[in-house]
Each structure stands twice: as structure tokens, then as C-alpha cells.
Amino acid sequence: MKVLIVVSHPRKDSLTFKVADRFAQGLAEAGHDYEILDLHGIGFDPVLKGEDEPDFSAAEQLFSPEVEMEIRRLKENDALTFIFPVWWWYLPAMLKGYIDRVWNNGFAYGSNKLHHEHVLWIGLAGVSKEQMKKRNYDESITHLLNVGIADYCGVPNSKVEFLYETLGSDSKHYEMLLNQAHDLGLNYAKEQQS
């Protein structure tokens, strides 16, 4: 299986990218191929403009060259993983804009759905598990990503994993988080079906 790993963080030296690298290592050890898409690195423009606005009256729609290129990239991969920091209890604007623009009508929903069987969302949360649960942020984010986005776009197996306490932690805690990421890659798709 070939997995597209979409990473949303402005810094390559961030824990988010370290998690992506360790996750990819686990995927490779499990025999999967992967491609890492660095949204900031490619200079992706997250702002939805007129040419990419969904036209619900059209049977087919051509989008901007940037979006068409990303649609081709999605078609070349069998499964998806998104790795991102949880900011304001949601996706970073860059990643939300990627979904707004690329997962468009007629490709990801509407007359067609995504062909992917699996999507994994790995959110890095600065807070503890208890803080995330306090106001049901974990449930809200999970429901939105699994049902509001993945299920709406036809992906039958969607799972959200949070890596907690990612700010100011000691090296031992960081290594534990990286090991979690590695295990998620190693067991990709197996855990989602359970």
C-alpha cells in the first residue's frame, strides 16, 4: 500500500516533522510505500479562490493547476495520513485550506468519492489527555474528522490519534511520542479495522 503523509507545520525541525519521519519509518518496516507532502514546503496556498470554488451545477469541474496537481497526487496513493499540531482545538489553517481546496466537489464528494480505504489523523496536542477530555475536545475533533470529513468523502476507515503533552516535555517523553508514531506506522490499517 502507498500512503500519502500530509504534514502541516511551518518548521521542518518541529516535533510534527519528527513524528512524520518516525511514522514513515514504521510504514516502511511494515512493507508500505509512502510519500511525504510538506504543505508549507511546497508553498501550498490554503485560500479558496473563485476557480476552486465548488460548482454544484456542473457535472465535471476543472480546478486551478495547483489543485489539479494535488488531486493527481491523491489518486496515486492508496491511503492517507495527516500529521499536524492541534491549534485552537482544530486543524491548522494550512491543512484546513488544503482540504477545502483539494477535497472538492466532484472529486472527494458529490458525484465521486475518494477511493482511499484508510485515513489516519495524527494530532499533536500541547495539553494532557485529561485537559483534552475536560470539555470533550477529543470527541468533537474526532467526530468532525471521522464523520464530517472522511465519511462524507467515502473513506470507510478513519481514525484519529492524539499525541499529548507535546510542549516543553523532557526528552524521555518526546521519545515515547516518537515511539507511538512509529507504532502507528508499523500497524497502519490493521488498527483502523478493529
d(CA 14, CA 167): 11
pTM of the predicted protein model: 0.95
Q: What is the pLDDT of residue 191?
A: 58
DSSP string, 97-145: HHHHHHS-BTTTBTT-----SEEEEEEE-SS-HHHHHHTTHHHHHHHII
In single-letter form, the type of residue at position 85 comes to P
Mean pLDDT of the chain: 94
76-100 pLDDT tens trace: 999 999 999 999 999 999 999 999 9
Contact 13, 169 (CB under 8 A): no
Per the structure, the complete domain to which residue 72 belongs is given by 2-193
Element (H, E) at 79: strand 79-85
144-163 pLDDT tens trace: 999 999 999 999 999 999 99
CATH number at residue 149: 3.40.50.360
What is the number of domains present in the chain?
1
